[in-house]
């Protein structure tokens, strides 16, 4: 079915098709449209789910954990300070191996208060044990949500998945969307450690020094195992529905002398910059990173690397840039741009690439011109 949708409504449509048993909802701009649309599906009896309107984001994640531990499928959505309020519970979801699927509409953190796009909210969750995927179109938001349920619930993974979409730049934009009949693409959830309410038992949550590290390792083992599951899921999705996804979305990288890397909608803007630079004789390419956890293996082949971060870790740098630098041992030009919804055009990105200064960090709008 071909339709036109916002990014938020595309996520909600995929959730309806995934048929979670429990949806925990709390509104926050610019995510609210997701849980509102799901509420409409429930009211219209198009989705048979227990819709829990909770009093906070912390409770939303706690409700998903409480429901998920019984072995049922769960979903929630949030943004920015709502995600921070969940932080205690996001650690619990991963540690308890509950495959919650959550959409996070990326928004800047205050103060000062700002409701526009920035990735720092999700970056502050990067070490919790959640898988993270960043999308750049309405279609990809829909597709990634469907795949997230299959990946999270695979018995080799059993870790929660966060789908990240840029606030307003994607959450509220209208684009064409193909919504498929998914059939059995998402198998039934079989949680091996689910609590059986018909057989009450006592459970202790305390782990001592001789055991705790084993639980940490088990999360890491599953994170590593998720690589194969992600690749298999994306391949199966392509086979069934004809849309191909990978760890990155590469654009004109085959013969590129310089590659620009970014997350989310900046990657689409970068493709236009690449086309512009090619007309000038500059062999540029764009590599949009889709999966941030687990972090992908990147083939940069000694080319110049420009990384644009819509985030920042104070005293450390752009999180994507520093991650690429550490994993690939490359000298790169780190650009901090787009924080709090700051406009970044393809002409701006072309300037970053054209006038790159390897080994430096550049703050767009602060450091002067490149």
CATH number for the domain that contains residue 219: 3.40.50.970
Q: Which domain holds residue 347?
A: 249-363
136-189 pLDDT, tens digit each:
999 999 999 999 999 999 999 999 999 999 999 999 999 999 999 999 999 999
Could you tell me if 140 and 8 are in contact, meaning their C-beta atoms sit under 8 angstroms apart?
no
Distance, in Å, from the CA atom of 4 to the CA atom of 173, rounded to the nearest integer, reads 10
Based on the fold, state whether residues 211 and 254 are members of the same structural domain.
no
Is 254 within a domain?
yes
Residues of the chain with pLDDT > 90, as a percent, come to: 95
Surface-to-core class of residue 173, CB atoms within 10 Å of its CB (0-12 exposed, 13-18 middle, 19+ buried): middle
Which of 241, 270, 291 represents a domain boundary (last residue)? 241
Is 47 within a domain?
yes
CA nearest to 129, candidates 83, 92, 82, 84: 92
Which of 200, 220, 241 represents a domain boundary (last residue)? 241
Among 45-54, 71-80, 140-149, 359-368, the least confident range: 359-368
Is 358 within a domain?
yes
Could you tell me if 146 and 245 are in contact, meaning their C-beta atoms sit under 8 angstroms apart?
no
316-335 pLDDT, tens digit each:
999 999 999 999 989 999 99
Based on the fold, state whether residues 236 and 266 are members of the same structural domain.
no
Based on the fold, state whether residues 174 and 156 are members of the same structural domain.
yes
Distance, in Å, from the CA atom of 151 to the CA atom of 281, rounded to the nearest integer, reads 42
How large is the average pLDDT for residues 115-132?
Answer: 98
- Asked whether the whole model's pTM tops 0.85, one would answer yes
Based on the fold, state whether residues 110 and 76 are members of the same structural domain.
yes
Please report, for residues 123, 227, 345, 351, the alpha-carbon distance to residue 246 in angstroms, rounded to integers and kept in the order given: 21, 11, 25, 28
334-350 pLDDT, tens digit each:
999 999 999 999 999 99
Instruction: Report residue 237 as tokens.
Output: 């999705």
Distance, in Å, from the CA atom of 145 to the CA atom of 237, rounded to the nearest integer, reads 12
Which of 208, 241, 274 represents a domain boundary (last residue)? 241
The upper half-sphere exposure of residue 94, i.e. CA atoms within 13 Å in the direction of its Cβ, equals 26
Based on the fold, state whether residues 183 and 257 are members of the same structural domain.
no
């Amino acid at each position: 079915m071909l339709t036109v949708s916002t990014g938020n409504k595309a996520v909600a449509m995929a959730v309806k098709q995934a048929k979670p048993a429990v949806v925990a909802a709390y509104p926050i701009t610019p995510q609210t449209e997701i849980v509102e649309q799901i509420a409409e599906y429930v009211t219209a009896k198009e989705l048979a789910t227990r819709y829990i309107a909770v009093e906070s984001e912390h409770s939303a994640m706690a409700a998903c954990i409480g429901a998920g531990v019984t072995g049922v499928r769960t979903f929630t959505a949030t943004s920015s300070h709502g995600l921070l309020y969940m932080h205690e519970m996001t650690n619990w979801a991963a540690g308890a191996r509950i495959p919650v699927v959550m959409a996070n509409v990326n928004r800047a953190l205050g103060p000062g208060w700002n409701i526009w796009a920035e990735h720092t909210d999700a970056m502050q969750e990067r070490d919790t044990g959640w898988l993270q995927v960043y999308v750049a179109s309405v279609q990809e938001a829909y597709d990634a949500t469907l795949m997230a349920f299959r990946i999270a619930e695979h018995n080799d993974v059993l870790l929660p998945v966060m789908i990240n979409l840029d606030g307003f730049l994607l959450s509220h934009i209208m684009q064409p969307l193909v919504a498929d009949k998914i059939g059995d693409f998402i198998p039934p959830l079989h949680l091996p450690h689910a609590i059986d309410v018909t057989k009450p038992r006592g459970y202790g949550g305390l782990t001592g020094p001789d055991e705790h590290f084993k639980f940490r390792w088990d999360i890491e083992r599953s994170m590593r195992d998720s690589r194969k599951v992600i690749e298999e899921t994306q391949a199966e999705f392509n086979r069934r529905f004809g849309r191909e996804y990978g760890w990155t979305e590469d654009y004109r990288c085959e013969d590129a002398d310089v590659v620009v890397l970014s997350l989310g909608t900046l990657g689409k803007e970068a493709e236009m910059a690449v086309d512009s630079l090619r007309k000038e004789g500059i062999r540029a390419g764009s590599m949009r990173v889709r999966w941030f956890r687990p972090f992908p293996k990147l083939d940069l082949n000694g080319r110049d690397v420009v990384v644009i971060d819509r985030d920042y870790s104070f005293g450390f740098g752009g999180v994507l840039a520093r991650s690429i630098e550490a994993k690939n041992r490359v000298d790169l030009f780190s650009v901090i741009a787009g924080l709090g919804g700051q406009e970044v055009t393809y002409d701006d990105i072309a300037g970053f690439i054209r006038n790159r200064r390897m080994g430096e960090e550049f703050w767009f709008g602060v450091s002067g011109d490149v």
